[in-house]
Every structure is written in structure tokens, then in C-alpha cells.
Homo-oligomer: A and B are copies of this chain.
Amino acid sequence: MTGALTIAGLGPGDEALVTPEVSAALASATDILGYAPYVARVPARAGLKLHPTDNRMELQRANEALRLASEGQRVVLVSSGDPGVFAMASAVFEALENSPQWQGLSIRVLPGITAMLAAAARAGAPLGHDFCAINLSDNLKPWMTIEKRLRLAAEADFAIAIYNPRSASRPDGFARALEILGESGLGERTVIFARAVSTPEEQIETVTLKQARPEMADMRTLVIIGNSATRRVGRWVYAPRHVR
């Protein structure tokens, strides 16, 4: 048996949003690694070893996944959403670059429904025109880089999907982000707070930027700021296809 590493996206929470490709990988795995709440989504069965780990252990987890695969295991490293969007795939390739002895391993990345697509679908079609995705965590980049990107995204008139807007350890960045977007003249823009989409705790709230309060977001919230043309029709929000 030859080992292999699969980096798989579990989608936002609902099992009906897990692709058959990912389900098949989970069904034939010998070892599942990932942040504990994501590993908990994989059903236990005989012969399957679960390796749940803490948050912020990305590189260590990636190394462990590569090591197990090098020993002949069929390893699946799980992320929520899509593994390539602010998740585990980048950490694996970073670990791989540091460890030439593993560069011949069989590796696959399996895409998943990332949070902004699930949130957009619930709200209507706010990402139907050009958009950007910004991770608001400054654990891995300078806060000034985030501010610069927010200002340029506003100038480009992108819809803006904000990942990781706010957590207990970063309570202030999102308030500052709302200020910056307000200073950029986006006060009347539509803002969607999509929390825990596709889970029993799902909540969707749509307000204007002026009405948005930092407390409306937490670590399970994906925020979408509409572009200048974004419209509401009944309970739906959409970005028109045309720029006139």
C-alpha cells in the first residue's frame, strides 16, 4: 500500500453540501487530521484513526499529515469550507517546501463550498459581479496590509467578502474595518452578516454599513459588503450583472 495525503473541504456545515468526491475520500481514509470541530464531523468507524488538534496548529498538523502519509497511511486532512481559502492547503505546501523528503508523496486537494458562496446563496446573489475576499485576521499579516486592501477594494468597487471578521482575541479589527469603509464613502452600502450558514444556528442579517455594529459579527460570521450597485428585492440582496 502506498500512502497518500488528501486535503479536503467539508463545506460550511450541512452534510448535503459535502461533495461526493470528499465523501469518498473520507470513506477510504485510514487517518483523519484537522481542527477538532471539523474532525468531529467525520463519522467514526472501525479502522479509522481520528487525530483532532487545536486551532492555530496548522503547520504542525500539516507536518504530521505528511509524515503519516509517508509511512503508508491514507490520510485526509479536513478543513471546513474550501481547503484552499484561508485554510489548510497553504500550510501543507509550506510544510512540503520545508521537507524535500516528502515531495514525491501523492497529494490531492479536493475543493469544497467555501463560506462566502454558502452565505451569498442564502442572501441572494451579492457576489454576482466582481468581488474580493479578505481575511481580517492579523495573526499572519500586518494590520496595515488589511487596511490598505480594504481601501483599494472600496476604490475598485468590489463586493467584499470578509472572513474571520472578529474573535475573542481580536475584538477591535472589525470595528476599525467598518470605520475605514465608512471613510471610503460606503455608509449606505448593503452589509450581510451570515452566521453559521447551513447549520441549526444559521442567522442572516442585512443592514446598511452605517447601521452595522461590530457585535453583529463573531468567529462564525462571514460578512459581505455589497458593491455600489447592490440592490434589495424583498428579502433578497443581489449585485446586478451590468455596470452602466
Contact = CB atoms under 8 A, between A and B. Distances in A.
Interface of A: 11, 14-21, 24, 58, 82-87, 89-94, 96-97, 103, 107, 109-114, 117-118, 120-122, 124-135, 140-142, 145, 148-149, 152-153, 155-158, 231, 233-234, 236, 238-243
A192 to B, nearest CB: 12
B120 A90 contact: no
Nearest to A132: B132
Contact of A111 (B97, B113, B155): B113
A190 B96 CA distance: 19
A83 B124 CA distance: 10
Given A17-B19, A24-B16, A155-B152, A109 B90 contact: no
B132 A130 contact: yes
Contacts of A118: 111
A121 B109 contact: yes
Contacts of A149: 130, 156-158
